[in-house]
Amino acid sequence: MAFLDDIEPLKHTALQELNAASNLAALEQTKGAWIGPNGKFTALMKQLGTLSKEEKPAGGKLINAAKVELEAALASRREQLEVKAAVPQEPTDFTLPGRRRALGKLHPLTQVTDDIVRAFRKIGFAVADGPEIEDEYHCFDALNTPADHPARDSQDTFYLATKNGADTAPLQTTAVAAVDRRLLRTHTSSVQIRVMEKQAPPVRIIVPGRVYRRDNADATHNPTFHQIEGLYVDKSVTVGDLKGTVEFVFRELMGSDVKIRFRPHYFSYTEPSYEIDFTNALVKKMGKDWLEIAGCGMVHPQVFETVGYDPEVWTGWAFGFGIERIAMLRYGINDIRLFYENDVRFLEQF
Protein backbone atom coordinates (compact mmCIF):
# COMPACT_ATOMS: atom_id res chain seq x y z
CA MET A 1 0.00 0.00 0.00
CA ALA A 2 3.04 2.18 0.34
CA PHE A 3 2.98 3.08 -3.32
CA LEU A 4 -0.39 4.71 -2.94
CA ASP A 5 1.23 7.20 -0.71
CA ASP A 6 3.69 7.96 -3.51
CA ILE A 7 0.91 9.11 -5.84
CA GLU A 8 0.51 12.52 -4.45
CA PRO A 9 4.22 13.49 -4.35
CA LEU A 10 4.80 11.95 -7.78
CA LYS A 11 1.88 13.84 -9.25
CA HIS A 12 3.17 16.98 -7.71
CA THR A 13 6.61 16.57 -9.27
CA ALA A 14 5.05 15.62 -12.61
CA LEU A 15 2.90 18.72 -12.61
CA GLN A 16 5.93 20.85 -11.85
CA GLU A 17 7.94 19.30 -14.64
CA LEU A 18 5.11 19.63 -17.16
CA ASN A 19 4.70 23.25 -16.37
CA ALA A 20 8.43 23.77 -16.50
CA ALA A 21 8.76 22.38 -20.04
CA SER A 22 9.98 25.31 -22.12
CA ASN A 23 8.98 24.07 -25.54
CA LEU A 24 6.77 21.52 -27.21
CA ALA A 25 9.59 19.00 -27.63
CA ALA A 26 10.52 19.20 -23.96
CA LEU A 27 6.85 18.86 -23.07
CA GLU A 28 6.52 15.70 -25.11
CA GLN A 29 9.61 14.32 -23.44
CA THR A 30 8.24 15.11 -19.99
CA LYS A 31 4.96 13.54 -20.99
CA GLY A 32 6.86 10.37 -21.96
CA ALA A 33 8.75 10.35 -18.70
CA TRP A 34 5.54 10.39 -16.72
CA ILE A 35 2.58 9.08 -18.58
CA GLY A 36 4.24 7.41 -21.55
CA PRO A 37 4.31 3.58 -21.77
CA ASN A 38 7.47 3.53 -19.66
CA GLY A 39 6.61 6.57 -17.59
CA LYS A 40 6.85 6.72 -13.89
CA PHE A 41 3.16 7.22 -13.46
CA THR A 42 2.39 4.40 -15.83
CA ALA A 43 4.64 2.18 -13.72
CA LEU A 44 2.61 3.18 -10.70
CA MET A 45 -0.55 2.10 -12.43
CA LYS A 46 0.99 -1.24 -13.20
CA GLN A 47 1.40 -1.76 -9.47
CA LEU A 48 -2.34 -1.53 -9.04
CA GLY A 49 -2.49 -5.29 -9.63
CA THR A 50 -0.60 -5.90 -6.44
CA LEU A 51 -3.37 -4.48 -4.41
CA SER A 52 -5.96 -6.58 -2.60
CA LYS A 53 -9.44 -6.90 -3.97
CA GLU A 54 -10.75 -4.53 -1.35
CA GLU A 55 -8.08 -1.92 -1.88
CA LYS A 56 -8.26 -1.91 -5.66
CA PRO A 57 -11.31 0.34 -6.25
CA ALA A 58 -10.08 3.08 -3.98
CA GLY A 59 -6.52 2.82 -5.31
CA GLY A 60 -7.72 2.86 -8.92
CA LYS A 61 -9.81 5.87 -8.26
CA LEU A 62 -6.88 7.69 -6.74
CA ILE A 63 -4.56 6.95 -9.62
CA ASN A 64 -7.15 7.82 -12.26
CA ALA A 65 -7.93 11.14 -10.66
CA ALA A 66 -4.24 11.99 -10.63
CA LYS A 67 -3.89 10.90 -14.25
CA VAL A 68 -6.77 13.08 -15.37
CA GLU A 69 -5.18 15.94 -13.56
CA LEU A 70 -1.86 15.32 -15.26
CA GLU A 71 -3.44 15.08 -18.70
CA ALA A 72 -5.33 18.29 -18.17
CA ALA A 73 -2.12 19.96 -17.11
CA LEU A 74 -0.41 18.56 -20.19
CA ALA A 75 -3.10 19.86 -22.55
CA SER A 76 -3.09 23.27 -21.01
CA ARG A 77 0.69 23.52 -21.15
CA ARG A 78 0.71 22.28 -24.70
CA GLU A 79 -1.69 24.98 -25.72
CA GLN A 80 0.46 27.60 -24.03
CA LEU A 81 3.56 26.33 -25.74
CA GLU A 82 1.84 26.11 -29.15
CA VAL A 83 0.86 29.71 -28.95
CA LYS A 84 4.38 30.58 -27.92
CA ALA A 85 5.77 28.60 -30.83
CA ALA A 86 3.54 30.43 -33.32
CA VAL A 87 4.97 33.78 -32.37
CA PRO A 88 7.44 34.69 -35.12
CA GLN A 89 11.08 34.36 -34.27
CA GLU A 90 11.76 37.85 -35.50
CA PRO A 91 9.37 40.65 -34.62
CA THR A 92 7.02 41.69 -37.45
CA ASP A 93 7.22 45.31 -38.53
CA PHE A 94 3.88 45.99 -40.10
CA THR A 95 5.17 49.22 -41.55
CA LEU A 96 7.61 47.34 -43.78
CA PRO A 97 6.51 47.02 -47.43
CA GLY A 98 4.87 43.68 -48.00
CA ARG A 99 5.61 41.11 -50.66
CA ARG A 100 3.26 42.35 -53.34
CA ARG A 101 1.80 40.59 -56.32
CA ALA A 102 1.65 42.62 -59.45
CA LEU A 103 -1.74 43.38 -60.95
CA GLY A 104 -1.53 44.81 -64.44
CA LYS A 105 -3.48 47.82 -65.61
CA LEU A 106 -5.76 48.13 -68.56
CA HIS A 107 -4.64 50.82 -70.98
CA PRO A 108 -6.37 54.15 -70.29
CA LEU A 109 -7.88 54.08 -73.78
CA THR A 110 -9.38 50.68 -73.01
CA GLN A 111 -10.78 51.95 -69.74
CA VAL A 112 -12.33 55.01 -71.37
CA THR A 113 -13.71 52.94 -74.25
CA ASP A 114 -15.25 50.51 -71.76
CA ASP A 115 -16.87 53.38 -69.90
CA ILE A 116 -18.31 54.82 -73.09
CA VAL A 117 -19.57 51.42 -74.15
CA ARG A 118 -21.11 50.89 -70.72
CA ALA A 119 -22.95 54.20 -70.95
CA PHE A 120 -24.37 53.35 -74.37
CA ARG A 121 -25.29 49.82 -73.38
CA LYS A 122 -27.36 51.16 -70.53
CA ILE A 123 -29.61 52.64 -73.16
CA GLY A 124 -29.77 49.63 -75.42
CA PHE A 125 -26.86 50.00 -77.84
CA ALA A 126 -24.94 46.97 -79.11
CA VAL A 127 -21.25 47.07 -80.03
CA ALA A 128 -20.43 46.56 -83.71
CA ASP A 129 -17.19 46.32 -85.61
CA GLY A 130 -15.76 46.72 -89.09
CA PRO A 131 -12.52 46.55 -91.02
CA GLU A 132 -9.77 49.13 -90.65
CA ILE A 133 -8.66 48.65 -94.23
CA GLU A 134 -11.50 50.15 -96.21
CA ASP A 135 -12.37 51.04 -99.75
CA GLU A 136 -13.27 54.51 -100.89
CA TYR A 137 -16.84 53.47 -101.31
CA HIS A 138 -17.45 52.73 -97.64
CA CYS A 139 -15.21 55.44 -96.28
CA PHE A 140 -16.33 58.25 -98.57
CA ASP A 141 -18.75 57.61 -101.44
CA ALA A 142 -21.48 55.95 -99.43
CA LEU A 143 -21.15 58.70 -96.84
CA ASN A 144 -21.99 61.27 -99.47
CA THR A 145 -18.46 62.69 -99.66
CA PRO A 146 -17.96 64.44 -103.00
CA ALA A 147 -15.51 62.78 -105.39
CA ASP A 148 -13.11 65.70 -105.22
CA HIS A 149 -13.36 66.28 -101.48
CA PRO A 150 -10.05 67.19 -99.83
CA ALA A 151 -10.50 64.45 -97.20
CA ARG A 152 -9.72 61.98 -99.95
CA ASP A 153 -6.39 63.59 -100.67
CA SER A 154 -3.32 61.48 -100.33
CA GLN A 155 -2.22 64.39 -98.13
CA ASP A 156 -4.78 63.41 -95.54
CA THR A 157 -5.62 59.75 -96.04
CA PHE A 158 -3.36 56.73 -96.09
CA TYR A 159 -3.74 54.60 -99.21
CA LEU A 160 -2.45 51.09 -99.61
CA ALA A 161 0.19 50.35 -102.17
CA THR A 162 -1.08 48.11 -104.89
CA LYS A 163 0.60 44.97 -106.12
CA ASN A 164 1.90 46.44 -109.34
CA GLY A 165 3.47 49.26 -107.40
CA ALA A 166 1.14 51.92 -108.76
CA ASP A 167 0.87 54.89 -106.47
CA THR A 168 -2.33 56.61 -105.51
CA ALA A 169 -4.30 57.70 -108.51
CA PRO A 170 -2.77 60.98 -109.59
CA LEU A 171 -4.94 63.96 -108.90
CA GLN A 172 -4.72 65.56 -112.29
CA THR A 173 -6.66 62.80 -113.96
CA THR A 174 -10.33 63.49 -114.08
CA ALA A 175 -11.17 59.94 -113.07
CA VAL A 176 -10.06 60.12 -109.45
CA ALA A 177 -13.05 58.26 -108.12
CA ALA A 178 -13.09 55.71 -110.90
CA VAL A 179 -10.59 53.48 -109.14
CA ASP A 180 -11.81 52.23 -105.81
CA ARG A 181 -8.57 52.65 -103.96
CA ARG A 182 -8.02 50.90 -100.69
CA LEU A 183 -7.19 52.99 -97.69
CA LEU A 184 -7.04 53.07 -93.92
CA ARG A 185 -10.39 54.25 -92.67
CA THR A 186 -10.34 57.88 -91.63
CA HIS A 187 -13.33 57.51 -89.36
CA THR A 188 -15.45 54.80 -87.81
CA SER A 189 -18.38 56.12 -89.85
CA SER A 190 -17.52 53.58 -92.55
CA VAL A 191 -18.91 50.94 -90.20
CA GLN A 192 -22.31 52.67 -90.36
CA ILE A 193 -22.44 51.65 -94.00
CA ARG A 194 -21.09 48.15 -93.36
CA VAL A 195 -23.73 47.49 -90.71
CA MET A 196 -26.64 49.00 -92.64
CA GLU A 197 -25.70 46.97 -95.70
CA LYS A 198 -26.05 43.79 -93.69
CA GLN A 199 -28.74 44.56 -91.19
CA ALA A 200 -32.31 45.69 -91.70
CA PRO A 201 -33.51 48.62 -89.60
CA PRO A 202 -33.92 49.35 -86.74
CA VAL A 203 -30.23 49.73 -85.92
CA ARG A 204 -28.78 50.78 -82.60
CA ILE A 205 -25.04 50.32 -82.51
CA ILE A 206 -21.81 51.82 -81.30
CA VAL A 207 -18.47 51.20 -82.95
CA PRO A 208 -15.24 51.80 -81.08
CA GLY A 209 -12.08 51.40 -83.11
CA ARG A 210 -8.88 52.64 -84.60
CA VAL A 211 -8.85 55.23 -87.37
CA TYR A 212 -6.03 56.78 -89.36
CA ARG A 213 -5.18 60.23 -90.64
CA ARG A 214 -2.05 61.35 -92.33
CA ASP A 215 -0.94 63.75 -89.60
CA ASN A 216 2.59 63.89 -88.29
CA ALA A 217 2.72 62.93 -84.64
CA ASP A 218 2.76 65.83 -82.21
CA ALA A 219 1.18 66.60 -78.85
CA THR A 220 -2.32 66.54 -80.29
CA HIS A 221 -1.94 64.25 -83.31
CA ASN A 222 -1.03 60.67 -83.92
CA PRO A 223 -1.51 58.99 -87.30
CA THR A 224 -3.38 56.26 -85.44
CA PHE A 225 -6.11 57.17 -83.02
CA HIS A 226 -9.43 55.90 -81.74
CA GLN A 227 -12.98 56.95 -82.37
CA ILE A 228 -16.35 55.75 -81.30
CA GLU A 229 -19.35 55.98 -83.56
CA GLY A 230 -22.99 55.77 -82.61
CA LEU A 231 -25.78 55.04 -85.07
CA TYR A 232 -29.47 54.84 -84.31
CA VAL A 233 -32.04 54.21 -87.03
CA ASP A 234 -35.69 53.68 -86.31
CA LYS A 235 -39.07 55.11 -87.17
CA SER A 236 -39.60 58.77 -86.26
CA VAL A 237 -36.21 59.45 -84.74
CA THR A 238 -35.74 63.19 -84.17
CA VAL A 239 -33.09 65.77 -83.37
CA GLY A 240 -34.57 65.77 -79.87
CA ASP A 241 -33.67 62.08 -79.54
CA LEU A 242 -30.15 62.82 -80.64
CA LYS A 243 -29.84 65.53 -78.02
CA GLY A 244 -31.31 63.35 -75.30
CA THR A 245 -28.94 60.47 -75.97
CA VAL A 246 -25.83 62.60 -76.31
CA GLU A 247 -26.63 64.42 -73.09
CA PHE A 248 -27.15 61.15 -71.27
CA VAL A 249 -23.90 59.64 -72.47
CA PHE A 250 -21.77 62.67 -71.72
CA ARG A 251 -23.27 63.05 -68.28
CA GLU A 252 -22.40 59.42 -67.61
CA LEU A 253 -18.87 59.98 -68.87
CA MET A 254 -17.95 63.41 -67.62
CA GLY A 255 -20.12 63.79 -64.55
CA SER A 256 -23.51 65.32 -63.86
CA ASP A 257 -22.23 68.91 -63.81
CA VAL A 258 -21.44 68.74 -67.52
CA LYS A 259 -23.27 71.10 -69.88
CA ILE A 260 -23.72 70.23 -73.53
CA ARG A 261 -24.20 72.62 -76.42
CA PHE A 262 -25.14 71.73 -79.99
CA ARG A 263 -23.85 73.99 -82.71
CA PRO A 264 -24.90 73.81 -86.38
CA HIS A 265 -22.10 72.43 -88.51
CA TYR A 266 -21.57 70.48 -91.70
CA PHE A 267 -20.84 66.83 -92.40
CA SER A 268 -21.61 65.30 -95.75
CA TYR A 269 -23.40 62.29 -94.31
CA THR A 270 -25.71 64.02 -91.87
CA GLU A 271 -28.30 66.73 -92.36
CA PRO A 272 -28.78 68.64 -90.18
CA SER A 273 -25.31 68.35 -88.72
CA TYR A 274 -24.03 69.61 -85.40
CA GLU A 275 -20.87 69.89 -83.44
CA ILE A 276 -21.13 69.21 -79.76
CA ASP A 277 -19.39 71.40 -77.21
CA PHE A 278 -19.28 70.67 -73.54
CA THR A 279 -18.32 72.57 -70.47
CA ASN A 280 -17.80 71.82 -66.81
CA ALA A 281 -15.57 73.01 -63.99
CA LEU A 282 -12.54 71.54 -65.75
CA VAL A 283 -13.19 73.48 -68.96
CA LYS A 284 -13.64 76.70 -67.00
CA LYS A 285 -10.36 76.00 -65.25
CA MET A 286 -8.71 75.78 -68.67
CA GLY A 287 -9.95 79.31 -69.22
CA LYS A 288 -12.45 78.31 -71.87
CA ASP A 289 -16.20 78.60 -72.13
CA TRP A 290 -16.74 75.54 -74.28
CA LEU A 291 -14.71 72.68 -75.63
CA GLU A 292 -15.58 70.92 -78.85
CA ILE A 293 -15.98 67.21 -78.26
CA ALA A 294 -17.98 65.47 -80.96
CA GLY A 295 -19.78 65.74 -84.27
CA CYS A 296 -23.24 64.43 -84.98
CA GLY A 297 -26.37 64.82 -87.02
CA MET A 298 -29.40 63.22 -88.57
CA VAL A 299 -28.45 60.56 -91.12
CA HIS A 300 -28.59 62.11 -94.60
CA PRO A 301 -31.41 60.63 -96.70
CA GLN A 302 -28.87 60.06 -99.46
CA VAL A 303 -26.96 57.71 -97.16
CA PHE A 304 -30.15 55.77 -96.46
CA GLU A 305 -30.87 55.53 -100.16
CA THR A 306 -27.35 54.27 -100.78
CA VAL A 307 -27.71 51.39 -98.33
CA GLY A 308 -31.26 50.64 -99.43
CA TYR A 309 -33.20 52.04 -96.46
CA ASP A 310 -36.29 54.04 -97.36
CA PRO A 311 -35.73 57.58 -96.02
CA GLU A 312 -39.49 58.13 -96.09
CA VAL A 313 -39.88 55.40 -93.46
CA TRP A 314 -36.67 55.52 -91.46
CA THR A 315 -34.85 58.35 -89.84
CA GLY A 316 -31.84 58.21 -87.60
CA TRP A 317 -28.88 59.93 -86.14
CA ALA A 318 -25.19 59.26 -85.95
CA PHE A 319 -22.47 60.68 -83.85
CA GLY A 320 -18.79 60.20 -83.37
CA PHE A 321 -15.97 61.40 -81.24
CA GLY A 322 -12.33 60.81 -80.44
CA ILE A 323 -11.54 58.54 -77.53
CA GLU A 324 -8.09 60.00 -76.92
CA ARG A 325 -9.65 63.41 -76.52
CA ILE A 326 -12.03 62.16 -73.84
CA ALA A 327 -9.20 60.36 -72.05
CA MET A 328 -6.98 63.44 -72.23
CA LEU A 329 -9.71 65.59 -70.77
CA ARG A 330 -10.66 63.12 -68.11
CA TYR A 331 -7.15 62.49 -66.83
CA GLY A 332 -5.52 65.79 -67.75
CA ILE A 333 -3.10 64.16 -70.22
CA ASN A 334 -1.37 66.76 -72.35
CA ASP A 335 0.31 64.70 -75.06
CA ILE A 336 -1.45 62.13 -77.21
CA ARG A 337 1.82 60.31 -77.95
CA LEU A 338 1.94 59.09 -74.35
CA PHE A 339 -0.86 56.66 -75.21
CA TYR A 340 1.31 54.86 -77.73
CA GLU A 341 4.67 54.84 -75.93
CA ASN A 342 3.50 52.40 -73.26
CA ASP A 343 5.77 53.77 -70.59
CA VAL A 344 4.88 51.69 -67.54
CA ARG A 345 5.05 54.79 -65.34
CA PHE A 346 2.24 56.15 -67.50
CA LEU A 347 0.22 52.94 -67.77
CA GLU A 348 0.33 52.26 -64.04
CA GLN A 349 -1.33 55.59 -63.25
CA PHE A 350 -4.75 54.54 -64.45
For residues 202 and 255, which CB has a smaller minimum distance to another protein in the complex?
202
Q: Which stretch binds another protein (CB under 8 A): 14-22, 29-37, 75-83, 117-125?
A: 117-125
- Chain positions 55 to 84 lying near another protein, rule: CB under 8 A, are none
- Chain positions 184 to 203 lying near another protein, rule: CB under 8 A, are 184, 195, 199, 202-203
Q: Return the exposure string of 47-69: e unless at least 16 CB atoms fall within 10 Å of the residue's CB, then b.
A: ebeebeeeeeeebeebbeebbee
CB of 107 to another protein, least distance (A): 4
Q: Angle 242-243-247 (CA atoms, 0-180°, nearest 5)?
A: 120
In 4-156, DSSP assigns E strands to 126-127, 133-135
Question: Is residue 239 within the footprint of another protein (CB under 8 A)?
Answer: yes
- For residue 232, give Cα distances in angstroms to 81, 202, 211, 320: 73, 7, 21, 12
Q: What are phi and psi of 208, to 5 degrees?
A: -85, 145
For residues 18 and 119, which CB has a smaller minimum distance to another protein in the complex?
119
CB of 36 to another protein, least distance (A): 31
For residues 63 and 203, which CB has a smaller minimum distance to another protein in the complex?
203
Taking CB under 8 A as the criterion, the residue among 247, 252, 259, 291 binding another protein is 247
Dihedral in degrees, nearest 10, Cα atoms 319, 323, 326, 331:
170
Question: Is residue 32 within the footprint of another protein (CB under 8 A)?
Answer: no
Question: Is residue 234 within the footprint of another protein (CB under 8 A)?
Answer: yes
Q: Which stretch binds another protein (CB under 8 A): 30-38, 47-55, 68-76, 241-249?
A: 241-249
The H or E element spanning position 28 is helix 24-35
Binding string, 84-113, against another protein, x = CB under 8 A?
Answer: ------------xx-xxxxxxxxx-xx---
- Chain positions 295 to 334 lying near another protein, rule: CB under 8 A, are 298, 300-302, 315
Binding footprint of another protein, residue count (CB under 8 A): 94
For residues 1 and 344, which CB has a smaller minimum distance to another protein in the complex?
344
Whether the bond into 202 is cis, omega within 30 of 0: yes
270, amino acid identity? T
- Chain positions 249 to 278 lying near another protein, rule: CB under 8 A, are 261-266, 268, 271-275
CB-count burial class (<10 Å; 0-12, 13-18, 19+) for 312? exposed
Question: Is residue 339 within the footprint of another protein (CB under 8 A)?
Answer: yes
137, amino acid identity? Y
For residues 65 and 106, which CB has a smaller minimum distance to another protein in the complex?
106
CB of 285 to another protein, least distance (A): 21
Question: Is residue 291 within the footprint of another protein (CB under 8 A)?
Answer: no
Question: How far, in Å, CA of 208 to CA of 328, rounded?
Answer: 17
Question: Is residue 115 within the footprint of another protein (CB under 8 A)?
Answer: no
Contact 206, 125 (CB under 8 A): yes
